Amino acid sequence: MCSPEHFAVEYAINPWMDVTTPVDRDLAVKQWDRLRETLVGLGHEVHLLTPEQGLPDMVYAANGAFMVDGTAYGARFKHEQRAAEAAAHHAFYESQGWRFIAPSETNEGEGDFAYVPETHGGLILAGHGFRTEIPAHAEAQEALGRPVVSLRLVDPRFYHLDVALAAIDDSNVVYFPGAFSAASQRVLTQLFPDAVIADDEDALAFGLNLVSDGANVVLNSEAARLAGKLKAAGYTPVPVELAELKKGGGSVKCCIAELRH
């Protein structure tokens, strides 16, 4: 995770960003702190990336790489405003002694990659359409040695896979069908017949931008309806208020890079 101490909406690179809406940075830091404390309270170890002046989106730490079994496939951001973040993430992963593979192709880390470890021996779901380019899917497959399934995103409000789909345990997902092309919806139905299906209200509340440890699902507190669906499916929803960080087009998952080592 990376503190939002420099967070601001200074440019608009997704439909959620409005440069005329002020950000309360102190409140953003408080909400982010509460998210970090929630993860620690659930028994997880949280590593911190040092935020850098001039990179207001660094708080969205998930976008910097995608890690499976101790190997991190690095990010290469689509927009120049975020390009310098990649080096900070590269330095972090190497400082921890983890294997890092630098990308040649445009991709935004866990923003567009999800991992489902017990489906087909470990399956990577990969989004494209707005940020990550399709050649990065093949590059990730080579880097990480896991099969990749490409899913096309068709609604600009759901510009990253992680605002439309999330793994909720080692073999299942929750997703909003309307974010995907008809063919990608069919693929998801075949792969995950027991998936939790979200509606547009859940998705627009950033409910799918969540993190799950297989039992506890940490999600945006605005997504009360999705929390109910997850509870009915046997999970424990853990709501967290992140209204300030939503102004940049992200929520719980965007703030968390999962270190699968």
- CB-based contacts of 60, cutoff 8 Å, min separation 6: 2, 111, 248, 250, 254, 255
Known active-site residue 2: no
Of 6, 160, 255, 261, catalytic: 160
Of 89, 128, 137, 254, catalytic: 254
Task: Decide: 71 and 25 in contact? Cβ < 8 Å.
Answer: no
Report the relative pairing of strands 211-212 and 216-220 from DSSP bridges.
Answer: antiparallel
Known active-site residue 160: yes
Among all residues, which ones are annotated catalytic? 160, 254
